[in-house]
Structure 1
Amino acid sequence: MSVQEINKHAVLPPIISGSDKEFLERMQRYIITETERVCCNEEGPADEYYIIYRNVFDKVIEYVTAYKSILTSIKKEYDTFIETIKKGQRTAFYLHGKLKVLAGEPTALVYHKKRIAQLQAKMGLIENNSSKIQLQINEMKQVRAKYDTKEEQYCTFCKDPLKPIPGMTLQESVNLDALTKYLKHLEGKYAEMEELMSKKYVPIQRKADLDEEMTVVLERRDSTENLNNELQFSHQKLQVISQALTLWVKSDMSRSFQDFVENIQKSKDLHDKQGIVEELLEEDPSKAKEAEILLYFIERFNELISLGEYEKAVYFAVNGPRRILQNIGTVNKFKAVGKIRGKPSPLLLFFEAIFSISHAFRHPVDAVLTLEGIKCGLSEKRLDLVINWVTQERLTFSEEAGDVIFDYGEQDTYNKAKCLALAQIIYSECGLHKKALLCLCKQGQIHGAMEYIQQFKDFTSDDLMQLIKSCPNIELIQCLTKEWNGKPPYLSFGLAVLHLFSVDMKKVGIKLLQEISKGGKDAVEHLLINDPFCSLEKWQEVANICLQNGFDQLSNDIMSVLRSQAGVTEISEEDDTVNLMQHVFW
């Protein structure tokens, strides 16, 4: 077939109708207008071009009804392909950043090692300088001590001869008779002072000797009393037997003496004597002695307090029998003493002593003394003692003791972590799991807190909401509203957000929304699907809160996910005629 024949039968281009031509021109103007509005050219951002042409494609599909289904399928495939490309770009960007970090790790490691070497060298120089300075200080101390010794010797034995003698004129000081008379006067005065000192004061060694003599005398008295009790008991027995024997001899002695004694014990003659013997047998001399010892310790303790010998009083209070002086009354007496300038607090010495020997007794120190001891240690700024008491000694913990340490940590921010750890130990020992969990969270141990929740399993949603209010930590809220070790979340994210905004914790709620908005629509959908506690109406309230606080995209994502759920429709507040149960009856 020739070329003329082919041209002869060529298909003519379609004739465009007026409405189609007008539609095409309107679409062309729309593209030009939107492109100028977003200020982009052909080399501009692809996302904006994509949105413009996607809208044009939608309008073409609506206009061309005959090819609507096939064009819709084509658009859907293009959208899927473009979304896959975007996701791949995001993944590539993330991996590129991660690769940069991994590539920079060897360099950072080299820098860190170099810095370690520099710091070690610097520490060596500082230690050398410190040792030299310490040697110089020791040498200066030795020189100063020698100088002070020489000065003291000079001042003791060498008087200045140029100074006048006290009590004498210049003429008398050069007169031999006057000097001899004054010397005798001074010697007499010295003898008088020595006699006065011997009468008024006694050496401290004499007191120690008297104490030893007192101990010996008391031991001798106790042994004598025990011997006297035994002799009295023997005398009473012999007296009873003597009377019984006299009566037996006066009788006809037809019965044996043993039978006679058994019979006479039942008679009235020896009834009073037998009662005396039974009382003697039942009496325990050791109890009377113990009562005397207790009374002695109490009286001696009160005497030492009145004399101001508080260290000895502490010794008596701690070593008293049956812990007789380890009570709140003793604590009040030491409190009344107060602080002594230049000496440690008697009350602190008392608690330090009774806590240090707590392992020697069967029962631990009671809760009242434990609480008072902790208060005393903290008031004296001795947190080191309180740490040792709580972790090493046998004490009886209470909620009040934990609260005291917790409040002290709130005031002393430098030692707050230590106080929280101690309070956590006490709360755990007392079974106060809510307060122990709060201490863990305030220490920043979020994973430890989650393990604690999983271990005890007796925390309600109200308890966890109160925990969020007391410790508004974003990481804690995220852990509570997500799966943990394969188990469902303990709290609803939506309810948590609503709770934060309802208790005037708007800032925390906004931070939480910011963290969620970073994950995009996928994160929102995952939250909604895995949240069995929050109803759809509550999620709609969350969306409204997002919209009110400037999170428009997050609000749209929530509403979009809600609409995509099967059987879910948005109900406006103005539509009061909607029947929520209509689908059940139809």
Structure 2
Amino acid sequence: MSVQEINKHAVLPPIISRSDKEFLESMQRYIITEIERVGCKEEGPADEYYIIYRNVFDKVIEYVTAYKSVLTSIKKEYDTFIETIKKGQRTAFHLHGKLKVLAAEPTALVYHRKRIIQLEAKLKVIENNSSKIQLQIDKMKQLRAEYDMKEIKYCTFSKDPSKPIPGMTLQDSVSLDALTKYLKHLEDKYAEIKQVMSKKYVPAQRMVDLDEEMIVVLKRRDVAENLNKELQFHHQRLQIILFALTSWVKSDMSISFQDFVKQIQKTKDLHGDQGIVEELCEYDPGKAKEAEILLYHIERFNELISLGEYEKAACFAANSPRRILQNIGTVNKFKAVGKIRGKPFPLLLFFEAIFSTSHAHRRPIDAALTLEGIKCGLSEKRLDLVINWVTQERLTFSEEAGDVICDYGEQDPYTKSKCLALAQIIYSECNLHKKALLCMCKQGQIHKAMEYIQQFKEFTCYDLMQLIKLCPDPELIQCLTKEWNGKSPFLSFGLTIIHLFSVDMKKVGIKVLQEINTALPSAVFPRKVKLVE
């Protein structure tokens, strides 16, 4: 076939209209724009490509009206086919995952079995450890039970080695000689404390044994008392019969002994002898009862002390019969207790109790207890209590008690005047007139002191000179060296001044002379003398 024949039968390409061309270009732009918008740059099919081209195909179907039904059928078939493919992919993906799970089950089973073996091994180790710990606990319980049965007391003491040793400097704590000396001191102190404990304290079991022994002794005492009463009754009958028989023998024995006894019982002679017999065989159950009460008070007091009930023990001692617990021994027991942090001083409670009940007894508190009580009150800075005791209670004063109060006043100038007044009361009660006079002078009661000197005429010149030496008051010196209530002076002015200069009290003597020189009237001495020290 020639070229001409070929060209004769060739088909010309269709001529695209302008509107179709614009439509195709718009579709092309739409495809490019949508692909860029969704970012589908990877090669291969994707849902985004499918959606974009499906929308383009829908627009083409809408644009080409002549082939709309055919294109719609084609699109429907393609959509059905694509949906079937997608469904198959989803099913395949699901089955693939299930297949992986089934393939991994044997491996997981192996791992689980291995883990079971590991946990069983750990469980055995834990059980072994638990059994060992339980054995140790049982052993400790057994040791504790043996410890409680034997009543062994251990003293565990731990000391931090980094801290300094109490009572030693850092230099001494690294010195072997100093440490040896300190160890010897501690050993001696330990031995002393141990000895004191063995004397002062007894074990609780010993107290129980003593209580049991006391119960046995009391029972024996009751039996002995009953037997004693019976024997006394029989003895009294025998005395009466003996008296009657003696009287019957001394008589003419004209009547029978039985009739004589009946007759003599009616007379007063027999009753008189019965009184003698009763005196000889007197039995006073009150005395035994009183001894029992005293013993009870002593035991109860010791029990309260051991229990730490010090306030009750103090009241119990204050109310004890016959003041059996008001003595120095009781004071020493309270002293041994010492001070307790946060609680009143037990010894002070004891003295408060016994002094407050002093009016309930015939005799006042003795001098030793009074002195100890005043010392205790002053040591606790309770001058108010001491003032109340001295002025209100029934006490027995002593010179030592007054001296203690004076010394306390010297240490505390704020309470000096009160202490001097209390000491004056005590010295006056003890007839210590010299010290009472000195207290008056130190208080500035010069006129009262002069009246006191006149009242008690036992003061000598030496006593008054000593008074001036202890209390160099110019007013006192002037009163002693001049007339008083129309009576001659107690001391010579010149001798007093000489005495002051001789005992290194020149300033006092010069001051007295200056006051006298100032007080002299100018009519008598127109030109006063100026004294120079």
TM-score (norm 2): 0.49
In our comparison, the structure showing a higher alpha carbon Rg is 2
TM-score (norm 1): 0.45
